[in-house]
């Protein structure tokens, strides 16, 4: 990995305050239990308290800190912060009425295990919440954001522009904040969860950080988190959230669409 540009900010330097415009957490799940069956055969049992969740996936179990945010009607962004696995984190998107689920599992790898790739990897698992009828679309990878340019205001000191280039990459630049003038192109994965609802993830090359965001284009709100390595080598799981403004859209001629 080459040297970063002069004055390139570390993860903790840009992340400070980036949760200012984040939606507040809810205790709506306290006292409830849910069992999720994923398409790849994994099963996850969850029993919620106010700020903790007892989880079990058949191989491992623990009681860990959890954050639950309502990001749409009956739709929740759930972040499990593993005390015993600081280099890993699981984000769950659940629609409890349609019983659809998507897990995004992020893991900070050793640098030698990620040569030529971003150091933080992500695993995506669609699934269902057991116990009732399932309806609505299956969460699936989507090309819908390709061509969109949008601005994200995380705080008065954090404004970023995203340009969604293809199904695999996006470009970002900082318009306001400590990273002003900085930008890059990073690897992405986008899932459509429901109408006007997307999960957008990216994995950076220059620093060890990956992110998971839920976009609600009806409310124009973004809710998410970063998992990565700080400038002094610590693992940090940071909440984030923004107001979204769509700036422009690029349309491609048939046969000339990006990958």
List, as one string, the DSSP characters of 109-124.
PPGGGSTTS-SEEEEE
CB 101 within 8 A of CB 209: no
Contact 69, 92 (CB under 8 A): no
What global pTM score does this model have? 0.93
Find, among 96, 122, 123, the residue nearest to 36 by Cα: 96
pLDDT tens sequence across 31-57: 999 999 999 999 999 999 989 999 999
pLDDT mean over 230-242: 88
What does the DSSP assignment read for 157-182? TEEEEEEE-SSSEEEEEEEESTTTT-
Tokens of residue 113, six digits: 């295990």
Mean pLDDT of 207-223: 95
Residue-wise pLDDT tens digits, 77-134: 999 999 999 899 999 999 999 999 999 999 999 888 888 889 999 999 999 999 999 9
Return mean pLDDT, the chain. 93
More confident residue, 139 or 233: 139
Which of 135, 145, 241 minimizes the C-alpha distance to 196?
A: 145
Tens digit of pLDDT for each residue in 174-205? 999 988 999 999 999 999 999 999 999 999 88
């Amino acid at each position: 990995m080459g040297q970063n540009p002069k004055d390139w900010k570390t993860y903790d330097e840009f992340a400070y305050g980036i949760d200012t415009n984040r939606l507040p957490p809810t205790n709506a799940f306290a006292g409830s239990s849910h069992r999720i069956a994923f398409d790849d055969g994994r099963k996850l049992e969850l029993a919620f308290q106010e700020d903790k969740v007892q989880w079990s996936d058949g191989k491992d179990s623990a009681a860990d800190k959890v954050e639950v945010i309502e990001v749409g009607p009956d739709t929740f962004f759930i972040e499990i912060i593993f005390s015993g696995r600081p280099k890993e984190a699981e984000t769950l998107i659940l629609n409890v009425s349609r019983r659809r689920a998507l897990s995004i599992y992020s893991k900070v790898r050793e640098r030698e295990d990620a040569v030529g790739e971003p150091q933080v990897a992500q695993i995506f698992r669609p699934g269902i919440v057991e116990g009732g009828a399932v309806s609505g679309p299956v969460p699936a990878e989507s090309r819908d954001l390709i061509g969109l340019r949008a601005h994200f205001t995380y705080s008065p000191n954090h404004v970023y522009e995203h340009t969604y280039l293809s199904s695999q990459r996006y470009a970002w630049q900082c318009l306001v904040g400590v990273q002003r003038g900085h930008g890059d192109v990073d690897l992405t994965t986008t899932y459509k969860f429901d109408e006007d609802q997307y999960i957008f993830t990216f994995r950076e090359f220059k620093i060890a950080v990956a992110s998971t965001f839920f976009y609600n284009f009806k409310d124009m709100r973004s809710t998410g988190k970063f998992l990565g390595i700080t400038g002094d080598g610590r693992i940090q799981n940071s909440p984030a959230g923004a107001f979204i403004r769509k700036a422009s859209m690029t349309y491609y001629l048939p046969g000339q669409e990006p990958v």
